[in-house]
């Protein structure tokens, strides 16, 4: 699947954008999409429920600024907003920002479902989700084992691993898109003695099967973000669980 008008776009050349983005290629694609929409509007995430947070706070959010003008593929079952993409553009977005998309509505939902509790994010990657939550007023401890390389770090992410979960039972545990077929999510739950988990990912393969079995056996789903966007063909839900 290809973004309209981006096939053949030479991202190494072209007019300079009016701002200084993290990646100039994304700025050129964004500029192209805006021009196309102005000429012939198409469905996009801009001004949908996913685009609206709660309150007057306005975050610095370059990931969402780009995604909100991308073509929307419709609403998938469960009211999940799907975004059309080319593989190369998606890979660039993931390397620059995060594997899972935090919309303004998602950040507001996390603040609501956590009832203002502090958060511990394990596997924080580039720190993008932690950065968005911190801008919204959340106290977030973000840790990562630094095994992956990111094109940009968005906030402070400490070196750490799943064992950090045993130190912060008072915080809600945040897991965003754990590695496929990895025991990371399950191990984090094993160490965590708290009672609130917020999880963004696939319901089956984005974490180990043991992790999902543990959720079914020991946790109760207490809510799901109603308008969490994802990429076409990449199932992802944002949900909250309470320990039984």
- pLDDT of 43 reads 86
* Per-residue pLDDT tens digits for 220-237: 999 999 889 988 888 889
**What percentage of residues in the chain have a pLDDT greater than 90?**
51
* Domains and their CATH numbers in the chain: 24-96 (no CATH), 104-226+233-243 (3.40.50.150)
Q: How many CA atoms lie within 13 A of 166 on its CB side?
A: 6
Of the pLDDT bands very low, low, confident and very high (cuts 50, 70, 90), residue 219 is: very high
Residue 127 has pLDDT above 70, yes or no: yes
- pLDDT of 206 reads 57
pTM for this model (two decimals):
0.87
């Amino acid at each position: 699947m290809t973004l309209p008008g981006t096939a053949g776009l030479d991202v190494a050349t072209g007019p300079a954008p009016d701002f200084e983005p993290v990646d100039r290629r994304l700025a050129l694609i964004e500029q192209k999409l805006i021009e196309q929409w102005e000429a012939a509007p198409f469905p996009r995430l801009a001004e949908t429920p996913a685009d609206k947070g709660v309150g007057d706070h306005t975050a610095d959010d370059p990931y969402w600024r780009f995604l909100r003008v991308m073509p929307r593929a419709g609403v998938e079952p469960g009211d999940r907003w799907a975004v059309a993409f080319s593989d190369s553009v998606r890979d660039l977005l993931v390397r620059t920002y995060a594997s899972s998309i935090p919309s303004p509505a998602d950040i507001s939902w996390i603040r609501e479902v956590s009832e203002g509790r502090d958060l511990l994010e394990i596997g924080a990657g580039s720190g993008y989700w932690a950065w968005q939550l911190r801008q919204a007023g959340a106290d977030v401890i973000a840790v990562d084992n630094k095994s992956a390389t990111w094109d940009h770090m968005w906030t402070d992410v400490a070196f750490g691993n799943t064992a950090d979960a045993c130190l912060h039972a008072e915080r809600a545990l945040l897991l965003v898109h754990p590695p496929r077929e990895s025991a990371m999510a399950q191990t984090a739950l094993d160490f965590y003695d708290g009672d609130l988990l917020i999880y963004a990912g696939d319901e089956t393969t984005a974490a180990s099967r043991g992790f999902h079995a543990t959720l079914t056996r020991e946790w109760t789903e207490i809510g799901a973000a109603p308008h969490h966007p994802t990429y076409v063909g990449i199932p992802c839900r944002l949900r909250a669980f309470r320990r039984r």
